[in-house]
Structure 1
């Protein structure tokens, strides 16, 4: 009887071990969600398309124009206003270069285009601030 019990236990353990080995395959690694290159490229294309409709004093390069939106978004995310963002004593992020510039109304249009493309969660607040100041 004792041999029979040992045989039964051994067989049961063997079956359980075999079944444990037949489990489902682990899920493949997938990286955490984040901005994809295509999303960034789409944002850049959208922004530059709108920027090309703005009249500049001079001719900014695409690289010069695309250097601003991420900085504007960072300033807005940090809780700063549009006024602070453009102010030389604040963020000093008014869109201009060594050989080009913008009048204030066009600078605001460029800011709205950048926020719309790169950080649309701030768009309503930016528009509201510009409306309150009479600039939008």
Structure 2
């Protein structure tokens, strides 16, 4: 009786844990983590902005903007303020390159989508209200 009870309990335990099906138990493998910087730059490179056809920013130059934009948005500033020379002066422009307004707006949306998605709806609403998105 004792052997029968032990065998029944062992079989039940194996069946409940999935070990009794003859296949090894598999754990889901973690998905690879994509760095924010890589996700943002990948989107930017795919966009192929016409503003940057002859001269554009380096990746390092581009990567300076998203954290500053998110900080400004988190502080309650508008897109207009972020891009304004009288405001945060964070319009994406360099000494030898510039960005058309519509492309600057799109660049901001790409950055916000990756770096601070909590602000995405506010940014899109503001751009839509201004007729720029």
What is the TM-score normalised by the length of structure 1? Answer: 0.68
2:35 is paired with a residue whose SS is helix
Deviation at 1:47, TM superposition (A): 0.7
Match of 1:32 in 2: none
RMSD: 1.5
Query: May I ask how many residue pairs the two structures share in their alignment?
Result: 98
Is 1:132 paired with 2:125? no
Match of 1:105 in 2: 102
Is 1:118 paired with 2:115? yes
Deviation at 1:82, TM superposition (A): 0.3
1:63 is paired with a residue whose SS is helix
Gaps of 5+ in 1: 1-37
Match of 1:51 in 2: 44
Task: For 1:54 and 1:117, locate their aligned partners in 2 and report how far apart those are by CA, in whole Å.
Answer: 18
Task: For 2:99 and 2:56, locate their aligned partners in 1 and report how far apart those are by CA, in whole Å.
Answer: 10
2:37 is paired with a residue whose SS is helix
Match of 1:89 in 2: 86
Q: Which of structure 1's runs of 4+ aligned residues deviate more than 6 A?
A: none
Deviation at 1:115, TM superposition (A): 0.5
Task: For 1:121 and 1:54, locate their aligned partners in 2 and report how far apart those are by CA, in whole Å.
Answer: 26
Task: For 2:74 and 2:98, locate their aligned partners in 1 and report how far apart those are by CA, in whole Å.
Answer: 25
What is the TM-score normalised by the length of structure 2? Answer: 0.70
Match of 1:28 in 2: none
